[in-house]
A = this chain, B = another copy of it.
């Protein structure tokens, strides 16, 4: 690793240039994992079932080189590395959202081979929150997973680790309910009313 040349499409086109950077297998899922806050290598490895440690290390290196994420040493004796999206990496949110909008109807029933993590529902739930509660800060609890959703003045949705600082609406969902809201089978407003 290191010094491996970029494989570019060599097309003078914005789509191609974007895919030069984030078009490799796993890259956008790594951005998904970092979309609510920093993560350690071990978090990433645990929440990207199917990735190999070689590929994970290589992708992290590539994405750091390309300015999508930064790597910082934290903790006692700076012993732990933490990965965090840069502003450029955070700007990929609309790409994740467009893929999520298009791919969520394909979810159907969970397959026996499918891994699932509660935080993977943050993207569709964020869109549901923006639609139903655009003026509120909403904290979502799914099991041990806690994140809050914010919508800025321009309507851009984002989600962030942990509960919101200021009090606001809280939603406690289980995975089945999160799924139902994500695929649009149940309106978020209906779930919220019963809490």
Contacts and interface: CB of A to CB of B under 8 A. Distances in A.
Q: Size band of the A side of the interface?
A: 35 or more
Number of copies: 2
B11 A115 contact: yes
A195 interface: no
Contacts of A95: 95, 98-99, 102
Contacts of A17: 103-104, 106-107
A110 interface: yes
Contacts of A13: 32, 100, 103, 107, 116-117, 120
Contacts of A111: 10, 12
A114 B113 CA distance: 41
Contacts of A113: 8, 10
14 contacts: A10-B50, A11-B116, A13-B117, A13-B120, A14-B101, A14-B104, A14-B182, A15-B29, A17-B103, A18-B99, A18-B100, A91-B102, A92-B102, A94-B98
